[in-house]
Structure 1
Amino acid sequence: MKSEILNKAVQFIDHYLGWRSWSVLVYNSVIENVFLIFYIAGRNQMYTIYFIIDFFVFFLFSMFSTTYGYLINDLADRELDMQHGKANTFINDSRAKAHAIVLLFFALSVIFGVPFFERPYFLTLWLLWLLLATIYSVKPIRLKERGKLGLIIVVLAQRVLPTLIIFAAFGYYDSLDIVIFTAYIFFRGLSSDVNHQLEDYRRDAATDTRTFTVEAGYHKAERILHLSLKAEKVLLLACLLIMYQKFPSPEVLGISLFLPLVVVYCTIYGLSWWQMRRHSGDMEINPFSRGGRNIFHILHHTFPSVLMPLCVLMLLMLRNWIFFIPLLFLIIYRRLYSIDLIRKGLSALKFA
């Protein structure tokens, strides 16, 4: 009896929280840009166990909130996804059960958000996020079919507001940093969402789903993707320079230990430029391409989502050993113990 209950619980978690190969842990702005939280820890000198607790509570809050956003979108898209032949979490569920599950994850996000509710701006920003995440998918407003407006709203809801919520949750109010980091994450989100619409272009056009790409046209959307990717790279460099200047990194011979991270990024950036020049525009520069890892995947995904938080945590460990806890979590979560994974990542830097 107990094993049966346990099996059902595991199946439930895997199906609803593990939606589409655990996308909640992949396409989650907080997790993608977790380096920002650790940067704030250093800037605010939050070298205590209380920060570690806050980090993991906030991690769960972001996970359940993101799941709510995904599930309410699947609930609203159930019939449309059937027409498209796309996967949908609720395809075999009754509408009542689907509503109950969406409400469950909303309740879980509230529970893990409560510790932050009294922090300035947090509750207001989260309620705004909740509103946008809901009306983006749900009729009669359904902003996802409002072309350009829908694209802007989804980037605000999935990228900009979560970033501002991070600043509010951890009490960081440096205006220049907020502008630069948020701008970077905005373009990172814009690139991702335009690419997603490009991938769905034919199906959306066939069912007259009025996304931005359907309204603007495939080639115009593709140009916007390329411009967004360029802005993303430049703004990430700006973020690194700010972090180099402001992060309280230990020094050796008067040189900040943060400097190697900046040098590595500039080197990869330079290699990517050299490869584009060498291949005269014939190279696949889309980091979302399913053709395998390349240097652009490292620039846009691996570097900001893996290398940056890894390095920042190592520097924080020099201040207090307790940062080994999130470091170990990051290593396990990103499977950085996998030699094969590391080898594949390094092979993407090849000059060919």
Structure 2
Amino acid sequence: MTTSTGFDALLLLSFGGPEEPAHVRPFLENVTRGRGVPPERLDAVVEHYMHFGGVSPINALNRNIIAAIETEFDSAGIDLPVYFGNRNWHPMVEDTVAAMQSDGVERALVFPTSAWGGYSGCRQYHEDIARARESVGAGAPDLTKIRQYYDHPLMVSAFADAITSALGQLPPDRRSGARLVFTAHSIPSAADANAGPPTDGGHLYSRQVEDASRLAAAAAGIDEYDVVWQSRSGPPQVPWLEPDICDHLEVLAAKGVDAVVVCPIGFVSDHLEVVWDLDTEAEEKAEELSISFARASTPGADVRFAKMVVELVREHIAGVSARRIGAVRSYGETLNGQRCALGCCETPARPVRS
């Protein structure tokens, strides 16, 4: 079935999320399997989901992205069906790859809904691909993961316009003094130290987040900003990237800041960790501190995001040069090939809980 481009499908590979209340606990158990997360922490996260009816928006948002990609493929003359698979909830990637094989797909590109380096942002997607192919067995499609894309100019411009729009949502008398605050998902400090090829000095994830923030702020015409973290889930004795967004809001309030624009630079879509950690917890903290709060939108619903996917695909099917504007290297295309090295982004061994 392989076409003249060398590929005959695109697989959008994502994290997954529950779509009804009965799915929430099994989904979270999938996410945290082997991580030693205590049951009481899961109970707290279950309540976050129940606050939204037990439904995560992530699957619906990804289906919207797929529809937009299909439209852009049609406009660009790219004849590739788009499949959808997840790591942690249905449609599971193993089932999707089995369906692809049944449909005659021989070689497909994989677009991950993570723009980043590091274990969770990149290497784990390679592991998902390998696990899915192994589950299908002989005749499983060859799957090639698309590179990290944190600094693609289309995504940067979408974030920049979202920042400008959010600034306009603040009270007019507070806009000039508003502080721009970028957030991304926190990870254990040890995992960040291991992020990237061993020869590249580590900390690839946090360096890319900082670089993406620099790019988006510059594109929005803003000189001063902060980079903070959110969505920590590990035990308190394990160091994670800091400061947390809510703690940082307290610091800003103590300095007399009375307005913030929060940009979730680390997220593609407005899924639960955005609408709970930012639109609920952080916004409530800002209100408590008398800080006006506006949150920039994520780029997934912006047409430029689907156009970016087209460009990333064309790098493979048409030899188009990669468009990158960042100062930090990107990897991620093949696990042990040109863009990734043996031992790249290995996750540190987790301590045994007694």
- Using the size of structure 1 for normalisation, the TM-score is 0.30
Question: Could you state the TM-score of these two structures normalised by the residue count of structure 2?
Answer: 0.30
Bigger proportion of residues as helix: 1
